[in-house]
């Protein structure tokens, strides 16, 4: 067998092994976990309430930050329901109730006016709020575990190249059921993984330039 053919086979086998390794570790890449330092505020992102509220409370009770920031979420049809007399609590209100129930006093929770319909909206609204608050420049962003990588990318992009230096750390919720080790074994984890990679690609190619 000629040397060139052996090299081709070796290259193909190496590529297949690398592809398998990348697929197997795709979940771990999404679950970004930063080494934490004391911060001025925790930023809990809108979305699933229970896992993010629990993680936020754990960090708050351990003294990582004295305050919690959250952005008022935009909910489709919410105002129309209200006009028709239907009383429905917003996700933001449910978040605050959950945090209160866990022991975080309401005066330590700051609701940033929205409405936000995406993580990028939240990052922009948080940035605009912080530019008026000179004493908050170190943040710990809390989200569901597979959302942590993209959340970190978005907030670091939104808060860089400004007149002030901001420090952004991310803390994925340990209460999220996502399994990075075997993400391909459960339909929900497959959907979450593929969705996050598509959104990361979209962010890197298009959306980051809008921040």
Q: Is the pLDDT of residue 12 over 80?
A: no
Residues 52-90 have pLDDT tens digits of 999 999 999 999 999 999 998 876 776 777 777 777 778
Tell me: cis bond preceding 115? Omega within 30 of 0 counts.
Answer: yes
Give the E-state strand segments of the chain in sequence order.
Answer: 41-44, 68-73, 109-116, 138-143, 167-172
- Quote the CA–CA distance of 163 and 165 in Å, as a whole number: 7
Domain count, the chain: 1
Tens of pLDDT, residue by residue over 107-161, are 999 999 988 889 999 999 999 999 998 899 999 999 999 999 999 999 999 998 6
The string of pLDDT tens digits covering residues 13-54 is 767 776 666 677 899 999 999 999 999 999 999 989 999 999
Enclosing domain of residue 136: 3-210
Sheet holding 68-73, edge to edge: 109-116, 68-73, 41-44, 138-143, 167-172
Looking at residue 38, which CATH number applies to its domain? 3.40.50.620
- CA gap 85, 165 in Å, rounded: 45
CB atoms within 10 A of CB 80: 9
Query: What is the CB neighbour count within 10 angstroms for residue 201?
Result: 10
């Amino acid at each position: 067998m000629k040397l060139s053919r052996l090299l081709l086979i070796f290259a193909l086998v190496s590529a297949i092994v690398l592809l398998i390794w990348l697929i197997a570790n795709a979940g771990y890449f999404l679950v970004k976990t930063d080494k934490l330092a004391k911060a001025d505020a925790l930023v809990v992102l809108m979305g699933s309430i229970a896992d993010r509220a629990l993680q936020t409370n754990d960090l708050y009770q351990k003294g990582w930050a004295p305050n919690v920031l959250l952005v008022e979420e935009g909910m489709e049809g919410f105002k129309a329901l209200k006009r028709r007399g239907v009383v429905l609590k917003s996700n933001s209100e449910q978040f605050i109730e959950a945090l209160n129930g866990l022991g975080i006093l309401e005066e330590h929770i700051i609701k940033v006016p929205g409405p936000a319909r995406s993580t990028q909206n939240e990052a922009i609204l948080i940035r605009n709020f912080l530019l008026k608050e000179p004493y908050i420049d170190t943040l710990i962003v809390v989200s569901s575990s597979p959302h942590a990588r993209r959340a970190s990318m978005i907030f670091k992009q939104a808060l860089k190249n400004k007149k002030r230096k901001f420090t952004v750390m991310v803390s994925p919720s340990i209460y999220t059921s996502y399994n990075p080790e075997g993400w391909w074994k459960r339909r929900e984890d497959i959907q979450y993984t593929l969705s996050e990679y598509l959104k990361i690609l979209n962010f890197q190619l298009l959306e980051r330039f809008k921040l």
